[in-house]
Amino acid sequence: MQTFLEHAKSASRIIATLDPKTKIDVLMAMADALEAHSAIIIVENQKDLEEAARNNLSSALVDRLLLNTKRISDMANAIREIAAIKEPVGRILEGWVVPSGLRIEKVSIPIGVIGIIYESRPNVTSDTAALCFKSGNACVLKGGKEALYSNAIIASLLQEVLEKFNLPIEIISLLQDSSREGVAKLIKMDKYVDLIIPRGGEALIRFVSENATVPV
């Protein structure tokens, strides 16, 4: 995991300096890639659904897992909406002049590497990756084991777009270890991860909040 996160940290320095137009172009290409490859996403998603059936998961959980053409189109459109958001990096939040004449400004900058821990919904993979990319951050995604195949194909397609733009694929990293132990390790890697966002149920949020040494 340390090597994996070292690569993400290096990639965060590149995404942090990317110009706004390139970020928009990349995000629009990511949206197009999801729609263009919807058939293969559905094939991989079916593997998750079959595994869910074997494990007798509830119908509500299965519905959260399900991806079809409409839902993939919604995922792509969400990325396009994120691309259209006003550029968040480099905005002057406050400014003042001290008596000596020196002007001081508070300017928004990227956080760095953001670890996002989430559960069954595979659309979170593309949503959070796009939000992190737009805001100039590298992300380390840790999805639930229920959506293992779906998350993998979505992340892979997003990484292919990064490669086409000569950007490191580690800007969007998917942690392969979906175990509780993997989570416990990730949330203590404060040398490489700058922020952890737990997106899920109360138990997940409590576990992360109580055990992390990375800011949550």
Q: Are 147 and 75 in contact, with CB atoms under 8 Å apart?
A: no
**How many angstroms separate the Cα of 212 from the Cα of each of 35, 93, 100, 184, 195?**
36, 29, 43, 8, 10
Main-chain dihedrals φ then ψ at residue 144, nearest 5 degrees: -75, 155
CB atoms within 10 A of CB 62: 15
- Reported as a pLDDT band with limits 50, 70 and 90, residue 122 is very high
Confidence at residue 119, expressed as pLDDT on a 0 to 100 scale? 84
Element (H, E) at 50: helix 38-54
Which pLDDT value is given to residue 172? Answer: 98
pLDDT digits (tens, 9 = 90+) for 36-92: 999 999 999 999 999 999 999 899 889 999 999 999 999 999 999 999 999 999 999
Q: What is the pTM of this model?
A: 0.94
Do the beta carbons of residue 31 and residue 5 sit within 8 Å?
no
**Least reliable range by pLDDT among 52-61, 126-135, 177-186:** 177-186
CB 175 within 8 A of CB 4: yes
Where is average pLDDT lowest: 38-47, 88-97, 198-207? 198-207
